[in-house]
Amino acid sequence: MPKIVIYSFLLFFLFVSCKKQPQAPAYQSVQSMVVDSAAVVSPHPLASEIGIEILRKGGNAVDAAVAVQFALAVVYPRAGNIGGGGFMVIRDQDGSTTSLDYREKAPQSAHRNLYLDSLENVIKGLSTEGVLAAGVPGTVAGLLDAHQKHGKLKDVAALIEPAILLAKNGFKISEAEARRLNRFQDAFRKHNNTPNPFIKDTFIIGDLLVQEELAHTLNLIKEKGKAGFYEGVVADAIVAEMKNSNGIISKSDLQKYETQWRTPISVDYKNYRIFSMPPPSSGGLALGQLLKIVEGFPISDYGFHSQEAIHLMVEAERRVYADRATYLGDPDFYTVPVDSLLSSDYLTESMSTYTPEQASVSDSIDTGSLLIKESFETTHTSIVDSDGNAVSVTTTLNSNYGCKVWVDGAGFFLNNEMDDFSVKPGIPNQFGLVGAEANAIQAEKRMLSSMTPTIIEKDGELFMVLGAPGGSTIITAVFQVFLNVAEFGMPLDKAVTAPRFHHQWLPDEIIIEKGGIPESTQQQLLEMGHNIRAIERMAVIKAIQRLPDGSLHGAGDFRNPDDDVSGW
């Protein structure tokens, strides 16, 4: 072969290999770390770093949380957002607690049959993809309200500026982000007619993701506050997307959006006090019920992942998730019987059919009728600052990249949170039970959630901050990680990485993480009448534990390779 041909081949291979050679981004995740004073655990190292920078500049945990959330809207576009919503639980250093609900709302023209055809059958995909799936976004209002009421740094611009720079200058994407972006290319092309930074033949690790339109939107928020998002050109761009397709969010929906400060659910478990998100999230209430149920059993004697412990926890979950499907919805529209559901009389009655030997049957649990089907794609951040203020915040677009519609000219994905409503309520199940009226679609109502941002005290002192993405498995993951520490004596990182299991009443099965429960224990559970199904992974916890000497142990979760702990 002539030399010139050989050289050409060599040059060609050199070119191809250079071009395709993955370039690792200049950041690395640390998934477990003990620090002296302050810690941020978020789903992305660049966001954690920004949180820590804000703390170093004298900001408190709320300031850091706001900055981290704006940064996640840039570096974690599949769930970090300004086009979605979330919940924040705050515990001040003086022990006072509050929670902020910035969940999306149904547009004013939404109604209970929005996703049904003329025969009242669900139209597939309508509540999950495309603009009709989007609720009115709450994130921008939520972050600005949190800062205004509980932030320490006066100037909110300082909290948005780092995100603007990341969007304008770009950042190198991680391998996990590249994989996800590639997975959703077809959906992005289907729902977007114009080019955008997320549409590309193939993404690889180290690709620079520049988001100029998002930088511009963030800049408007920096300059004009809420009006930079809910009015003016950004509102125009959202409404234009609605008009391009079958969407219903109007300018008036955007202008009317308001957050709600709510009293957290507070539940005592032995010498711990748990503060978590009240309705319209089911998270805090369900977690409280689960803990109150198992409190009366010697669960630490049963042992971690023993058949006795798993059976007890699963039977509690079966009953609590049945309650969730029936009684829980937006408290501004439906009276959620919070106190009754947490009362010991009610929980004792609920467990009266429990036996340690035999699985119950979900169909015999006397309550509502709908399945839980939230997406696994949400995101959580836990923060403790050097004064001991703590923030636990979970945000979501619902599915990965929400409804897949990227707002042209404004640079962000819209959520598909409308799918968290009961799309077809009031239909009796096989026993004639009618469930989920509490979560039926109504104009301006908030859809039920499983997000469980949680802060825990031990003997009156800050003990743990935790939460997770993971749809309906969030609640049971928070439940298990807390018990792993409090009852099974695990260090936090082991408690977080330990395999998990989950029961949500219907379908009547325990789902377990593949290989996570010993075969012999599974066999015992099957013999008791349980059904078991293995899946890849469940919720992805991000937690901070305050150790007895006052230091902080931050733990991310291997289930998201980008989870990161930063601190000092």
Query: By rule CB under 6 A, what count of residues binds ligand GLY?
Result: 10
Q: Token match 């125009």: residue?
A: 236
Q: How far apart are CA 224 and CA 218, in angstroms?
A: 10
The nearer residue to ligand GLY, 289 or 378, going by C-beta atoms, is: 378
Task: Please identify which residue in 135, 138, 471, 567 interacts with ligand GLY, judged by CB under 6 A.
Answer: 471
Whichever of 411 and 471 has its CB closer to ligand GLY, that residue is 471
Is 378 designated active site?
A: yes
Q: Nearer Cβ to ligand GLY, position 33 or 187?
A: 187
Q: How far apart are CA 559 and CA 543, in angstroms?
A: 14
32: which 2 tokens?
A: 């477990």
Question: Residue 286 region, left (φ>0) first, then alpha (ψ -120 to 50), else beta?
Answer: alpha
148's torsion region: left (phi>0), alpha (psi -120 to 50) or beta? alpha
- Neighbouring-strand partners of residue 42: 564
Q: In terms of C-beta density within 10 A (0-12 exposed, 13-18 middle, 19 or more buried), how is residue 490 classed? A: middle
Q: Where do the H-state alpha helices sit in 412-552? A: 473-486, 492-497, 519-527
Counting Cβ atoms within 10 Å, is residue 349 exposed (0-12), middle (13-18) or buried (19+)? exposed
Going by C-beta distance under 8 Å and a sequence separation of 6 or more, which residues neighbour residue 253?
105, 107, 108, 136
The answer to whether 230 touches 401, Cβ cutoff 8 Å, is no
Side-chain-side CA neighbours of residue 502 (13 Å): 28
Considering the complex, what minimum distance in angstroms separates the CB of residue 59 from ligand GLY?
27
* Cβ at position 256, least distance to ligand GLY in Å: 21
DSSP-based three-state secondary structure for 89: strand
Is 479 within 8 Å of 498 (Cβ atoms)?
Answer: no
Residue 435 DSSP label: -
State the minimum distance, in angstroms, from the CB of residue 395 to ligand GLY. Answer: 9
Shortest CA distance to 278 belongs to which of 399, 117, 454? 454
- Measured from the CB atom, is 362 or 452 closer to ligand GLY? 452
User: From residue 525 to residue 544, what is the string marking binding to ligand GLY with x (rule CB under 6 A)?
Assistant: --------------------
CB of 335 to ligand GLY, least distance (A): 21
* Among 139, 259, 326, 378, the one annotated catalytic: 378
Residue with tokens 């802060």: 455
Q: Which of residues 358-417 bind ligand GLY (CB under 6 A)?
A: 374-375, 378, 396, 398
The minimum distance between CB 497 and ligand GLY, in angstroms, equals 22
Nearer Cβ to ligand GLY (319/446): 446
Bond into 264 cis (ω within 30): no
At its nearest, how many Å lie between ligand GLY and the CB of residue 24? 31
Nearest approach, Cβ of 371 to ligand GLY (angstroms)? 14
Q: What CA–CA distance (Å, rounded) separates 406 from 415? A: 10
Q: Which two tokens stand for residue 530?
A: 């349980």
106 binds ligand GLY (CB under 6 A): no
Q: Which of 145, 213, 323, 420 binds ligand GLY (CB under 6 A)?
A: 420
Name the residue nearer to ligand GLY (CB basis): 192 or 450: 450
Residue number with CB closer to ligand GLY (31 or 560): 560
Number of alpha carbons in the 13 Å side-chain half-sphere of residue 454? 35
Residue with the closest Cβ to ligand GLY? Answer: 449
Q: Which CB atom, from 219 or from 450, has the smaller least distance to ligand GLY? A: 450
Q: How far is the CB of 378 from ligand GLY (least distance, A)?
A: 5
The token duo for 349 is 């009655």
Residues facing 555 on adjacent strands: 32, 543
Closer CB to ligand GLY, 171 or 413, in the complex = 413
Q: Which is nearer to ligand GLY, 78 or 216 (CB)?
A: 78
Q: Name the minimum Å distance from CB 37 to ligand GLY.
A: 32
Residue 278 CB, nearest approach to ligand GLY (Å): 14
Q: In what order do the strands lie in the sheet with 97-102?
A: 260-262, 97-102, 85-91, 390-396, 378-384, 39-42, 564-567
Instruction: Give me the least distance between CB of 87 and ligand GLY, in Å please.
Output: 8
What string marks each residue from 194 to 233 as x (binds ligand GLY by CB under 6 A) or -? ----------------------------------------
Q: How many CB atoms lie within 10 A of CB 15?
A: 10
Map residue 185 onto helix, strand or coil: helix
Q: Which is nearer to ligand GLY, 369 or 375 (CB)?
A: 375
The Cα-based distances of 496 to 274, 468, 556 in angstroms read 18, 11, 8
What's the order of all strands across the beta sheet hosting 552-555?
A: 32-35, 552-555, 542-546, 461-467, 454-458, 272-276, 265-269
| Residue 69: Cβ-neighbour burial (10 angstroms; 0-12, 13-18, 19+) | buried
Residues 444-463 that bind ligand GLY (CB under 6 A): 449-451
Residues that bind ligand GLY (CB under 6 A): 374-375, 378, 396, 398, 420, 449-451, 471
**Catalytic residue list:** 378
